[in-house]
Amino acid sequence: MTASSPAGTARSGSAAGSGSKPLGFRARRRKLVMRFGKHALRRIDLWFARQSLVPNSPVLDPVLFPWLAEIERGWRSVRAELEPLLRDREALPRFQDISRDQSRISPDDKWRTFVLYGFGYRSEANCRLCPETARLLSGVPGLENAFFSILAPGKRIPSHRGITKGLIRCHLGLVIPSASDRCRMRVGDVLCAWEPGRALVFDDSFYHEVYNDTDEERVVLLFDFARPMTRRARWVRRALFTVFRRTAYVRDALELQAGWEQRYHTG
């Protein structure tokens, strides 16, 4: 996701598109594609649920994924690599600065990120700053996204859902407010709390909401990985993600991330 990574390709493709189509047309087309694309994805999700080799429940037991034990053991090293980033947190991008489509659920400056992997692409520059975190993530089967998710005091994220049941999401607790009863996440009908050094595994295709009603920061290492499914479903997911990575939704995010990284690492 640096200037020399696939993000650079996405950037040049986006620029070419902007020269040939009026912005209003592109915006309307994007909305139509997203509307019908979401409908198709929900239908595919119903099939993925039947092909899943793990329960189709809002929250999953971490013991289903034995490789998580090593990540939990290394959590203090991850937090140590996080701390220098937090000292310069105002320089980190807001979530909607990288994914503009998320401005509906996060229009303020209280959710910041530091991306290590995005849509399967590795940020080499960011991973160099967090080598132990990157090493631990390299052991995640089918890793798709990974970033530090930093919620400021008072931040609330309204109910929303992820794009596909083909992925499972994990939060590794790093910095958790002492009043944990006022910093929670609801996934489906399950109320969850984070713990330092513990993995919270859930299916973000269920509606979920987050609130940090404390005066402290909450930070987790968020990462998405491939849901264990039948071979046929894995083929479908691979084809689906190949198409998805070519959409403006992904290409625009990669372009914005690449631009931010260039400014951050050379400024």
Q: Residue with structure tokens 């930070």? A: 219
Residue 2: predicted pLDDT: 38
Task: Name the domain count of the chain.
Answer: 1
Which CATH number characterizes residue 240's domain? Answer: 2.60.120.330
Residue 41: predicted pLDDT: 87
Per-residue pLDDT of the chain (267 residues; tens, 9 = 90+): 433 333 333 333 333 444 445 556 555 555 544 554 667 888 999 999 999 999 999 999 999 999 999 999 999 999 999 999 999 999 999 999 998 777 788 889 999 999 999 999 999 999 999 999 999 999 999 999 999 999 999 999 999 999 999 999 999 999 999 998 999 999 999 999 999 999 999 999 999 999 999 999 999 999 999 999 999 999 999 999 999 899 888 999 999 999 999 999 997
Residue 22: predicted pLDDT: 54
Q: Please work out, in degrees rounded to the nearest 5, the angle formed at the alpha carbon of residue 170 by the alpha carbons of 202 and 165.
A: 50
Residue 26: predicted pLDDT: 53
Please measure the distance between the N-terminal and C-terminal CA atoms of the chain and give it in whole angstroms.
17
CB contact set of 205 (below 8 Å; sequence gap of 6+)? 45, 161, 162, 163, 164, 165
Contact 65, 142 (CB under 8 A): no
In a domain, 43, yes or no: yes
C-alpha 73/C-alpha 62 separation (Å) is 13
In a domain, 163, yes or no: yes
C-alpha 17/C-alpha 31 separation (Å) is 16
In a domain, 41, yes or no: yes
In a domain, 87, yes or no: yes
Amino acid at 192: C
Domain ranges, residue 220: 6-266
The residue among 195, 168, 203, 177 whose CA lies nearest residue 72 is: 195
Helix residue spans in the chain (DSSP H): 6-20, 23-51, 68-73, 75-86, 95-98, 124-129, 131-137, 231-244, 248-266
Residue 44: predicted pLDDT: 95
In a domain, 1, yes or no: no
As a 3-state breakdown, the chain gives helix, strand, coil percent values, each rounded to 5, of 45, 25, 30
In a domain, 71, yes or no: yes
